[in-house]
Amino acid sequence: MTTIIERIAALGPEEPFFSFEFFPPKTDSGVQNLIARLRRMAQLNPLFVNITWGAGGSTVSKSLDLAALCTSELGLTTCLHLTCTNMEKKIIDETLSLAKQKGIRNILALRGDPPRGEEYWTPPESQEFMYAVDLVRYIRQEYGNYFCIGVAAYPEGYADGSNPEAQDPKIDLPYLIEKTVAGADFIMTQLFFDTDKFIAFEKMLREHESGIFRSIPIIPGLLPINTYQSFIRTAKLSHAHLPDRVLEKLDAVPSTDDEQVKQVGVDILVEMIDRIYNETCHRVRGFHFYTLNLERSVALILDKSNVVKTPLRLKLVSQNKEQKIEKPVSIESVLADGVKDVKITEKVAVAVPASEASMTAEASWDDFPNGRWGDPRSPAYGEIDGYGVTLHVPAKRALELWGSPETTADISELFIQYLRGTLQVLPWSEEEGLSPETKLIEGDLVRLNKLGLWTVASQPAVNGLRSDDNIFGWGPRNGYVFQKALIEFFVPENTWFTLKEKLQGGDSVSYYAGNSRGDFFSNMNASDVNAVTWGVFPNREVVQPTIIEEQSFKAWSEEAFAIWKEWQRLYPRTSKTSHLINMIHESYYLVSIIHHDYVNTNALWNFLQI
Ligand code: FAD
């Protein structure tokens, strides 16, 4: 297997290239579907693919297995991400050794979450790995030049979220120099939408007096825009500046019309790539796509860009078996219809459309916005970046926001403040403030939280609203959308068992409940699937972007309890707050209830009059 650097060197001078990033899906069916997707996307011919690493080693075997599969089965040049903080050194050693055994030649060496002991109260177990540079040095010391090493860089400055105004790439420059001197072979950046900032950053590095950045590959990280909501959310979490130019383009189309948003997003990315390639005089010629395990937007970009091209483009033809007629097809249609095989002949690439209907179904799964639950069969299920469980805010800010609760009443108060808008975020919320649809049921949610049912997800019932509705709308125009009311909350063990009696008697409700010890209850069969959001649109089958079933509940439940543990780590082990959060983690249940009577929009809230 070759390294990324060797592959870049083998390209023609100034020849552009692109790479894809994937994360290990949470569910087994998601993994199976990602493998199918990877096979299709491999045919687009990325120079290499990256596989993310869950902070603190939370995805060790999943990340390694996926990277090994890409290397050995798909024959892709693969780069495994590896973080070094909040993890035993043993994991780093084992991972590097296994990576070598499996033929993986590239590592993106990262720090990961801030080392505990610096921002957290728990004393660090080892000071050996404090920053990414420590990992770069370690890999070089142990493996010489076997691994090609990449490091992260931040064109807008490193953001810890506490003061985005103070972000400045110059502050991080000495550390990027340190990482490069220690042995980095290439630099890969954080996602951004402000092309000017990236271009200025690249110039700053290239012109640095030391000369060390003169020829090192600097690969910009680009996030394809899939839906308006996910674009805003990810940009916010990454503290990426959104230039007016980008926002104006997106604001010109309805934010609920995913197809139009996606098309505008493609234009935005194509223009960014064009500008970067040309304005850096082709010094920057590699473009890394944070795919979020989604394929369509990336395919559309490759279809449209004049800089990054796949060999399938333009040359791609579909063959009509009977008539032996070859006609050009777009990458998009091939991905949507599924490709069984692509035969590269001397002149043309011939796409053989897949016969399996399942591929068509899969390609449409991600066309619509996923709710909290999404579709667990989708490889993209439930993720923002694939970096694992975090509090989404730095430790200092978390302490400012949530203080040091000492009783369950203090915790109830935090949940209520969040619902009322006086607290911006909770450990389980990815967005600041409630969504407009949740605002409509704020009164019911506050009542339940006062009773000690701490709500982390909910949606009201909807019985056929227009797809361009300001609050509930999604999908193409002239359609109608529906949803079942659902709620999810943490609750003490005794309250759960009382509630369970009531739930057993209700014939219009389905539930899942579980705790951190792995106890699990439900009134459904393991294979039951509930569509909780669906829509009907002209000229297509019913679309159901959000389903709930056992596998997805279990995956989320594990994560939801892990977030309690992350929160607990902010406090000294002997403190009252640490004991309180530990008690909740050990004894509470996470409960999810769906009410099937979506015609009676009050049904769930009346049922929960307890
Ligand atoms: P570092 O280079 O160590 O820098 C972190 C901070 O410490 C910066 O503020 C830097 O200025 C400062 N610093 C560095 N060295 C020193 C020093 N010697 N003294 C004082 N201060 C110093 N996270 C995951 O968990 N999994 C992933 O798969 C993953 N993939 C990523 C891919 C890319 C391309 C990027 C950009 C980020 C990724 N991350 C991932 C996130 C990353 O782990 C975080 O951004 C992390 O907080 C910083 O990592 P780093 O490698 O840039 O750290």
Ligand 1 pocket member 308 (CB < 6 A): no
Going from the Cα of 109 to the center of ligand 1, the distance in angstroms, rounded, reads 9
CA distance 374 to 548: 8
In this prediction, residue 606 carries a pLDDT of 92
pLDDT at residue number 341? 41
For position 11, what pLDDT does the model report?
95
Packing angle, helices 258-279 and 244-251, rounded to 10: 150
With tokens 């109260």, the residue in question is 121
Q: Which helix (H) or strand (E) element contains residue 499?
A: helix 493-505
| 274 lies in the same domain as 402 | no
Q: Does residue 25 form part of some domain?
A: yes
- pLDDT confidence tier of residue 432, bands split at 50, 70 and 90: low
Indicate whether 408 and 286 sit together in one domain.
Answer: no
DSSP-assigned letters across all residues of 210-224: T-TTSSS-EEEEE--
* Least-confidence region, from 158-162, 206-210, 257-261, 532-536: 158-162
Rounded distance, CA 45 to CA 584, Å? 49
Taking CA atoms, 155 is separated from 195, 202, 222, 608, in Å, by: 9, 8, 12, 49
The H-assigned helical ranges of 239-350 are 244-251, 258-279, 296-304, 331-337
| Closest of 59, 35, 556, 44 to residue 351, by C-alpha | 44
Residue minimizing CA distance to atom 45 of ligand 1: 112
Residue 258, amino acid: D
Are 410 and 305 members of one domain?
A: no
Q: Say if 374 falls within a structural domain.
A: no
* Domain co-membership, 299 together with 414: no
Q: Is 239 in the pocket of ligand 1 (CB under 6 A)?
A: no
- For the segment 293-324, what is each residue's pLDDT rounded down to a tens digit? 888 889 889 989 999 987 654 334 343 444 44
Is 111's pLDDT higher than 90?
yes
pLDDT at 358: 29
Mean pLDDT of 455-461: 92
Whether 125 is covered by a domain: the verdict is: yes
Of 60, 64, 110, the one to substitute when testing ligand 1's pocket (max ligand atoms within 8 A of C-beta) is 110
* Total domains present in the chain: 2
Contact 478, 558 (CB under 8 A): no
pLDDT class for 189, splitting at 50, 70, 90?
very high
- Residue 344: which pLDDT band, with cuts at 50, 70 and 90? very low
Please name the residue whose Cα sits nearest to atom 32 of ligand 1.
152
Q: What are the distances in angstroms from CA 590 to CA 76, 93, 337? A: 40, 36, 39
Within a domain: residue 327?
Answer: no
Q: How many angstroms separate the alpha carbon of residue 153 from the centre of ligand 1? A: 8
- Is position 343 within any domain? no
pLDDT of 156: 95
Instruction: Give the model's pLDDT for residue 538.
Output: 93
* Cα(181) to centroid(ligand 1), Å: 16
Reported as a pLDDT band with limits 50, 70 and 90, residue 327 is: very low
> Once rounded to an integer, what is the mean pLDDT over residues 378-402?
77
Boundary residue ending a domain (310, 335, 354): 310
Instruction: State whether 545 and 411 are in the same domain.
Output: yes
Instruction: Tell me the pairing of strands 186-191 and 218-222.
Output: parallel
Does residue 552 lie in a domain region?
Answer: yes
Strands 48-51 and 78-83: parallel
> Looking at the domain assignment, is residue 564 inside a domain?
yes
Distance CA 563, CA 462 (A): 30
Task: Put residue 525 in one of left, alpha, beta given phi > 0 → left and psi -120 to 50 → alpha.
Answer: beta
Domain, as residue range, for 438: 389-607
User: pLDDT category, 384, cuts 50, 70, 90?
Assistant: low
Which of 63, 91, 138, 158 to mutate to test ligand 1, by most ligand atoms within 8 A of the CB atom?
A: 158
Q: Which of 240-254, 374-388, 447-461, 470-484 has the lowest mean pLDDT?
A: 374-388
Span from the CA of 112 to the centroid of ligand 1 (angstroms):
6
Lowest mean pLDDT among 61-65, 224-228, 429-433: 429-433
Coil, strand, or helix at residue 465? Answer: strand
Query: End of a domain among 288, 310, 332?
Result: 310
Written as one letter, the residue type at 134 is: D
* Residue 172 near ligand 1, beta carbon < 6 Å: yes
Between the CA of 387 and the centroid of ligand 1 the distance, in Å, is: 12
Report pLDDT for 310.
72
Q: Which of 32-36, 96-100, 185-189, 443-447 is least confident?
A: 32-36
Give a yes or no: residue 346 inside a domain.
no
Tokens of 383: 């993720």
Mind giving me the DSSP string for 108-140? EEE--SPPTTTSSSSPPS-SS-SSHHHHHHHHH
Which residues are the active-site residues?
21
Hey, is 472 helix, strand or coil? coil
Of the three residues 279, 310, 341, the one that is the final residue of a domain is 310
Q: For ligand 1, say whether the CB of 188 is within 6 Å of any of its atoms.
A: yes
Range 17-40 average pLDDT: 89
Same domain, 459 and 550: yes
Residue 387 near ligand 1, beta carbon < 6 Å: yes
In degrees and rounded to multiples of 5, residue 107 shows phi and psi of -130, 130
Of the pLDDT bands very low, low, confident and very high (cuts 50, 70, 90), residue 390 is: confident
- pLDDT for residue 342: 39
Q: Let me know whether 401 and 265 are in one domain.
A: no
Asked if residue 514 has its Cβ within 6 Å of ligand 1, the reply is: no
Contact 326, 294 (CB under 8 A): no
Asked if residue 303 and residue 417 are part of one domain, the reply reads: no
Residue 352, H or E segment: strand 349-353
- 338 compared with 569, residue with greater pLDDT: 569
pLDDT in tens, 129-176: 999 999 999 999 999 999 999 999 999 998 776 666 678 999 999 999
The ligand 1 atom nearest the CA atom of 150: 34
Which of 65-69, 172-176, 366-370 bottoms out in mean pLDDT, i.e. has the lowest? 366-370
pLDDT over 90 percentage in the chain = 61
Residues 306 and 393 in one domain: no
Same-domain check for residues 176 and 274: yes
The pair of three-digit structure tokens given for residue 350, joined into one six-digit string: 């011939």
Same domain, 400 and 503: yes
- Ligand 1, pocket-test mutation among 156, 175, 288, 566, most atoms within 8 A of CB: 175
* Cα 143 to ligand 1 centre (Å): 22
What is the reported pLDDT for 523? 94
CATH number, position 91:
3.20.20.220
Q: Is the CB of 131 under 6 A from ligand 1?
A: yes
Ligand 1 mean position to 88 CA, how many Å? 18
For 121-142, write each residue's pLDDT tens digit: 454 555 689 999 999 999 999 9
Determine contact, residues 566/401, Cβ cutoff 8 Å. no
DSSP 523-562: SS-TT-EEEEEEEE-TTS--EEEEEEEHHHHHHHHHHHHH
Residue 174 makes CB contacts below 8 A (sequence gap 6+) with none
Nearest of 302, 152, 215 to residue 9 by alpha carbon: 215
